[in-house]
Amino acid sequence: MNLYRLLQERAADKPVRVGLIGAGKFGSMFLSQVPSTPGLEVVAIADLDTDRARTACHTVGWLQSHIDATVFLTDGMELVNRDDIDVVIEATGHPAAGIQHALAAIEAGRHIVMVNVEADVLAGPLLAKKARERGVVYSMAYGDQPALTSEIVDWARAAGLEVVAAGKGTKYLPAYHQVTPDDVWSHYGLSAQEAAAAGMNPQMFNSFLDGTKSAIEMAAIANACDLAVPDAGLAFPPCGVDDLAHIMRPQSLGGVLPQSGVVEVVSSLERDGRPVYRDLRWGVYVVFKAPNDYAAACFRQYGLPTDSTGQYAAMYKPFHLIGLELGISVLSAALRGEPTGQTRAWVGDVAAVAKRDLKAGETLDGEGGYTVWGQLVSARRSAAEHLLPIGLAHGVSLKNDVPRGQAVTLADVSLPNNQAVQIRQEMVAQFSN
């Protein structure tokens, strides 16, 4: 609660120096806040398209003099190895690139803020361990749902409350698992032309719709907070904020949870497509249980919405501001030496599941594409069944037919022997129970 004071003290001496890799939407939102955060300085920006990166800086309101003073690079590794950077932000969204940049930043002794949740879910436990051994911070990105949810989980546990469920809201219907980039925009109320004019990537936005991004984010929360994942995958129950404490409790009490202490995503749509009243589409939540009758009575006395027993209550944040809040992670790492959420264990994973009947010889196109979607599974199942993680399901060729709805296994594909695959294998070997 004193980050701004610490920043003011640091600004009087030397600013917190940042290198940003990836100047897309998340990165641009962060850049928009830099001029109004005294003591925070972006030294360099790496993007495959440096003209796009410069345009992003101009679009978010940077002065030309500020743009001219910033170094623009095409190579993220060159940025990581600069001596004038304290914190690296990895915002490419590409799992293999994220792993490469994180390992290099850790080796160079720089803090790393991992916007790239895809890379974190693929190998985060190992990356975080390497960072701790090196004495640097490996952090989730504040503003994104995993870090915000982890914060509320930490608050609840530190206050002596049992966390029953944690997660986020999203727009969901079962049919969305088969949506492809060709028909994604109709579900957003946009035409393809409108989306293209806004620079919106259909595959990326399809990942939010087909359930993959939700699975990735819930795996990240499970791994950071040591929460279980539902054995049957995410259920996406329709639920508004007023009903969280009633619906997000164990089945034995009339709720939907298979057990206490799990991650789950609530839908902003009823199964017939009607909007949920007071939905949590843009927010995050935690449901917790009172440790005793006295605490339960206090829930009621202080106006906390509870279930019918009075024992279960919910805390939620209705919105998340993505990159506008990312500076919190940067400053927490640089000024406090603390992450805003960090993967600690391998509890959940995201398996690639066939969207349609797939044939041997086809090439998988990864997250949000035409061939597979990502399903949340337990790490135990992933390791036992040798499931293909969604983070490795891009650009790989199938050796076997895979029917629609079936998880792809490692034996079904030809994987390259690259760094991402090697780090994933090392992570599984170290963190499998």
DSSP readout, 347-373?
-EEEEEEESS-B-TT-EEE-TTSSSEE
DSSP readout, 218-268?
HHHHHHHHT-B--TT-----B-BGGGHHHHSSBGGGTSSBSSSSEEEEEES
Residues 248-305: tens digit of each pLDDT? 999 999 999 999 999 999 999 999 999 999 999 999 999 999 999 999 999 999 999 8
Closest CA to 138 of 421, 343, 424, 387: 343
Enter the tokens of residue 285: 């939540």
Collapsing DSSP to helix, strand or coil, 277 comes out as coil
Fold that domain 3-143+323-336 belongs to in CATH: Rossmann fold (3.40.50)
Residue 198 has pLDDT above 90, yes or no: no
Residue 325 has pLDDT above 80, yes or no: yes
What whole-number percentage of the chain has pLDDT above 90? 93
Residue 197 has pLDDT above 90, yes or no: no
The pLDDT, as a whole number, for residue 169 is 98
- Which helix (H) or strand (E) segment holds residue 138: the answer is strand 138-140
Residues 55-110: tens digit of each pLDDT? 999 999 999 999 999 999 999 999 999 999 999 999 999 999 999 999 999 999 99
| 427/411 Cα distance (integer angstroms) | 19
Residue 196 has pLDDT above 90, yes or no: no
Start and end residues for every CATH 3.40.50.720 domain found in the chain? 3-143+323-336
Collapsing DSSP to helix, strand or coil, 429 comes out as helix
The pLDDT, as a whole number, for residue 194 is 85
Residue 199 has pLDDT above 80, yes or no: no
Closest CA to 115 of 324, 426, 387, 407: 324
The pLDDT, as a whole number, for residue 143 is 97
**Residue 214 identity (one-letter amino acid):** S
**Residue 76 identity (one-letter amino acid):** G
Enter the tokens of residue 429: 């070997």
The pLDDT, as a whole number, for residue 231 is 87
First-to-last C-alpha distance (Å) of the chain:
37
Q: What is the pTM of this model?
A: 0.96
Residue 43 has pLDDT above 80, yes or no: yes
Rounded to the nearest angstrom, the gap between the alpha carbon of residue 95 and the centroid of all alpha carbons in its chain is 12
The pLDDT, as a whole number, for residue 12 is 81
**Residue 413 identity (one-letter amino acid):** V
| 213/209 Cα distance (integer angstroms) | 8
Give me the torsion for CA of 114, 118, 119, 125, rounded to 10°.
Answer: 90
Fold that domain 348-431 belongs to in CATH: Type Iii Antifreeze Protein Isoform Hplc 12 (3.90.1210)
* The residue to which tokens 């406090």 are assigned: 336
Tell me the CA distances in angstroms from 363 to 352, 392, 396, one per residue in order: 13, 12, 5
* Burial class, 84, CB count within 10 angstroms (exposed 0-12 / middle 13-18 / buried 19+): exposed
Average pLDDT of the residues in 123-143:
98
Mean predicted lDDT score pLDDT of the chain? 96
The pLDDT, as a whole number, for residue 185 is 93
* The residue to which tokens 């030309």 are assigned: 64
Alpha-carbon radius of gyration of the chain = 21
Per DSSP, 15 falls in state P
Cβ atoms within 10 Å, residue 199: 9
Residues 227-238: tens digit of each pLDDT? 999 988 999 999
Start and end residues for every CATH 3.90.1210.10 domain found in the chain? 348-431
Residue 413 has pLDDT above 80, yes or no: yes
Rounded to the nearest angstrom, the gap between the alpha carbon of residue 101 and the centroid of all alpha carbons in its chain is 17
